[in-house]
């Protein structure tokens, strides 16, 4: 019984960690896209 609870706990922790990593990657991608848009706008305005 104890082994099953430990395995479930490990899988839950792994799931949470992967979700957090994916969210961080998604945010960094969005920030890069926004920076590119601003750079394009600034260069076109000049």
Q: What is the DSSP string of 1-46?
A: -HHHHHHHHHHHHHHHHHHHHHHHHHHHHHHHHHHHHHHHHHHHH-
| pLDDT of amino acid 13 | 92
| pLDDT of amino acid 15 | 94
| pLDDT of amino acid 7 | 72
> What residues in the chain have per-residue pLDDT under 70?
1-6, 30-32, 34, 38-46
Q: Which two tokens stand for residue 10?
A: 């490990």
């Amino acid at each position: 019984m104890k082994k099953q609870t430990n395995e479930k706990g490990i899988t839950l922790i792994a799931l949470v960690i992967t979700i957090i990593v994916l969210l961080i990657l998604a945010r960094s991608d969005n920030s890069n896209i926004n920076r590119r848009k601003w750079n394009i706008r600034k260069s076109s305005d000049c």
